[in-house]
Structure 1
Amino acid sequence: MNFSFWKKHGKRQLHTIAFYNLENLFDTNDDHLTLDDDFTPNGIKQWTPKRYEKKLRKLANTISRVGLNDGYMAPIVVGICEVENRQVVEDLIATEPLKNEAYGIVHYDSPDERGIDCALIYNKEYFKLISSEPIHLKVHQTDGSIDRTRDILYVKGTMKNETLHIFVNHWPSRRDGGTVTSPKRMKAAQTLSEFIARLQEKEPQMNCIVMGDFNDGPKSNSLRHLKQENGLYNPMEKLLTPNRGSATYKGRWMLFDQILISHSFLNYEKGTHSFSHANIFDDYFLTEFKGKYKGSPFRTYAGRKYLGGLSDHFPVYIHLKYNT
C-alpha cells in the first residue's frame, strides 16, 4: 500500500467536532421581547441585510473548512453560540458551501435578555439525533435579581452506532469583572456537573463532549470543577500560549473556547471513537491582516464601528478517530 493511499484512507477515519462563537449572529428584524435594537438597520450598529448576508457567507465558509488540514470533510458536529434564533441558524446552513451538506439543527430559545442562544448543527448522514433539551441556569446578579442568561444545550445522538452526549455552553460573561462574575460561572459548572453525574449513574462509561465559550480559561476553578467531578479530560489546556488563543482582550490571548471530553475517548477499542487531537482553527484568513490587532480574530464590529469581519473568536475543534 503506498503512503498517499494510506494517508487518504486514514483521514477518512477522522471526524471533526467543533465549536464556534459567532459574535452576535442577529437577523435584521426587531424582536420586541429582547434587547436586539442595536442589530437593526436603524439601530446603533446599522445592521443591514447586506451586512447580515456577508457575515453568513464568511461564517459558512469558515465552518466548512474547520479541521480540513487533517480530516477530509466538513465538521460532523458544530456547537455554536451567540445566535439570535433558529432562523439565523437556518440561514447559515442554507448558505454556500454549507448548503451542500446535510446539516440538521438543534436549537431552543433561551431567556437571555439580548436573545442570544446556543445551538448545534450536525451532519444527518453521520450523526443520528436521539434527543435534546435545554438545561436552565439559575444565577443571580450581585443585587440578588435573576440573571437572564443562556441555557446549556444538551444533545444525545449516535455516530457509527456509538452514543454521544454533547453539551453546548455559553457561560455568563465577565462584563462586570472576572472576579465579581466568577460565582456565576461556577454555578454554571455545578449545574452542568450535576446533570452529567445523573447520566453517569445510569451510564458510567458514557461518551461525553462538553464544548463552549466558558468565559473562563482552562485553569479556572469552574473548568477544574468539571474535570474533577465528572472525570473529564481537557485537551485544550496545552494550546494556550502568550502568542496563541481563541480570542484576545487588551492584547492578551485567552482560551475561553474549549472542548472537554470523557476518558472513554482515550481508548482504542475496535468499533469505537478515540481522541486524536485538538486545535484552534486560526488560519490567516480569519485574522486581522495589519495594524495594532494584527493576528487577532477579524471581528464584525469594534464597538459601534463596522469592520466587516467574521467573529471576535476563532473556532476550536477536536478530531475523533474511528477505530476499525
Structure 2
Amino acid sequence: MFLSILLSSFFTLVELNCENLFDTRHDVGKEDSEFLPEGSRHWTSTKYWGKVNRIGQEILSCSDELPDLVALIEVENDSVLKDLCRRSLLRNAGYQYLMTESPDLRGVDVALLYQPASFRPLCYDYIEVPPLPDMRPTRDILYVQGCSSSGDTLHVFVVHSPSRYGGERASRPNRIQVVLQLRKVLSMISPHAQVVITGDFNDYCDSPALMDLYALGLQNITCQTKGMHGALGTYRYRGEWHSLDHVLVSPILCKKVDSTYINDAPFLLEDEPQYGGKRPFRTFQGYRYQPGFSDHLPLVVRFKLD
C-alpha cells in the first residue's frame, strides 16, 4: 500500500467532521465537562477508544489508497490527534498532523493529517477570527502551505465556521466573518496559486458566505457531489440531505480534479425510522450513545497532479 502512494499520480483529499472527537480528560479553561466520565454523556475510555478507532476505520475506507491529506473538524486537542495517528487503526499509516489551538469555548479545533511521502509542509499558521459583538469565540482557520510529491505547491485552508444556532439569518454574519479573514489571506497569495479551502462551513452551496468566495474565482467542486449508496449530501436533517461540508479550489487546481464523491459506505449509515431511508451513523442521538462514527459523511476529492 505504501509503495502505491509513491507510484500513484493521483492526490487524494478527505474532509471529515468527526462529531465531537473528545478525550476523557478536562482541558483547563474549556467547557468540555459533558465529555467526561462523570459528565452528562458519560464519556468513558471505552467509548473514547471505540470512537478513535472508528474514525480511523472511516478514513481508511475513503479510497483504495491512503488519502494524502485528511482535513478533520471537531477534534479536541493534540492528545486526540496522537491517539488517532499512533494508537488507532491508523497507527501503521504513517500520518503526521498539524492542528489549531483555538479560543473556541468547548475546545474543538481543526487539523490536517498528511502523508510525508506525498506532502511536505513548508509553513503553517493559524488565522484568527475576531468575534463580532455577541459572537462566541470560534475556531481558528488552519493554513498550511506544502509541496506535493509531484512538485506542486498547495495552499490548504481548513475551516470550521460558526454554527447556525439562533437561526441561519441571525448567525449569518458570524460565518461571513470567517470568509472575511480568508479573503485577507488570499489577497496575499498569487492568483495563479493552487488553493484548497475545505471544512464544515455550516452553510449550503448558495449561501452568502460561500458566494463571497466564489466572487474571488474559487470553485466549489463538491456542490453536487453524491455518494454511491444514496447519500445526496454529507449531512441529513429531518429526512433531507444537505451539504455543510465543502471543498473549494482555485481555477488552476480545478482543472486537475479527477473525481469527487461522498463516502457513504453502508457501514457508515443507519436506518432513519422517522423519515425513512438512511442517515449517517452517528455517536449520539441526543444524549443516547451508540457505537457510530459521525453525524457527517466524509467528502473525498481525487486530483490528477502533474
TM-score range for the pair, normalised by the shorter chain length: over 0.9
Q: Give 1:163's match in structure 2, choosing from 149, 153, 161.
A: 153
Q: Give 2:219's match in structure 1, choosing from 215, 229, 233.
A: 233
Q: Which amino acid aligns with 1:158?
A: C
User: Which TM-score applies when normalising by structure 1?
Assistant: 0.88
Alpha-carbon contact 2:15-2:71 (below 8 Å) kept? yes
Q: Does residue 257 of structure 1 match 2:245?
A: yes
Which residue number corresponds to residue 286 of structure 2?
Answer: 303
Q: Does residue 179 of structure 1 match 2:169?
A: yes
Which residue number corresponds to residue 149 of structure 1?
Answer: 138
Q: Give 2:75's match in structure 1, choosing from 66, 76, 83.
A: 83
Distance 1:309 1:95 in 2: 19
Q: 1:266 to 1:42 in 2, by over 3 A?
A: closer
Instruction: Render the CA deviation track for 1:77-136: whole Å, top value 9, x for unaligned.
Output: 011010110110111112443111121110121000000001111001110011111100
Matches within 5 A, 1:12-51: 12-51=8-47
Matches within 5 A, 1:239-250: 239=225, 244-250=232-238
Q: Which amino acid aligns with 2:34?
A: D
Alpha-carbon contact 2:52-2:88 (below 8 Å) kept? no
Q: 1:295 to 1:207 in 2, by over 3 A?
A: same
Distance 2:115 2:70 in 1: 9
Cα offset, 1:225, TM superposition: 0.8
Moved over 4 A (4+): 240-243
Q: Does residue 128 of structure 1 match 2:115?
A: no
Q: Which amino acid aligns with 1:154?
A: Y
Alpha-carbon contact 1:287-1:294 (below 8 Å) kept? no
Alpha-carbon contact 2:161-2:201 (below 8 Å) kept? yes
Instruction: Render the CA deviation track for 1:129-175: whole Å, top value 9, x for unaligned.
Output: 111111001132xxx24521101100010002211000000000011
Cα offset, 1:12, TM superposition: 2.6
Q: Which amino acid aligns with 1:265?
A: L
Based on CA coordinates, which of the two structures has the bigger radius of gyration?
Answer: 1
Question: Could you list the runs of 5+ residues in structure 1 that have no partner in the other structure?
Answer: 1-7, 268-273
Q: Give 1:210's match in structure 2, choosing from 176, 179, 197.
A: 197
Which residue number corresponds to residue 277 of structure 1?
Answer: 259
User: Which TM-score applies when normalising by structure 2?
Assistant: 0.92
Alpha-carbon contact 1:19-1:316 (below 8 Å) kept? yes
Cα offset, 1:294, TM superposition: 4.4
Q: Which amino acid aligns with 1:137?
A: V
Which residue number corresponds to residue 270 of structure 1?
Answer: none
Which residue number corresponds to residue 196 of structure 1?
Answer: 186
Alpha-carbon contact 1:20-1:78 (below 8 Å) kept? yes
Cα offset, 1:212, TM superposition: 0.4
Alpha-carbon contact 1:235-1:277 (below 8 Å) kept? no
Q: 1:65 to 1:278 in 2, by over 3 A?
A: same
Give the share of equivalent positions with the same residue, in percent. Answer: 33
Alpha-carbon contact 1:66-1:75 (below 8 Å) kept? yes
Task: Considering fraction of residues, name the structure with more helix.
Answer: 1
Instruction: Render the CA deviation track for 1:10-54: whole Å, top value 9, x for unaligned.
Output: x93222101100000000012231000000000000000000000
Which residue number corresponds to residue 268 of structure 2?
Answer: 286
Which residue number corresponds to residue 118 of structure 1?
Answer: 110
Distance 1:266 1:182 in 2: 27
Alpha-carbon RMSD: 1.9
Q: 1:266 to 1:240 in 2, by over 3 A?
A: closer
Question: Could you list the runs of 5+ residues in structure 2 that have no partner in the other structure?
Answer: none
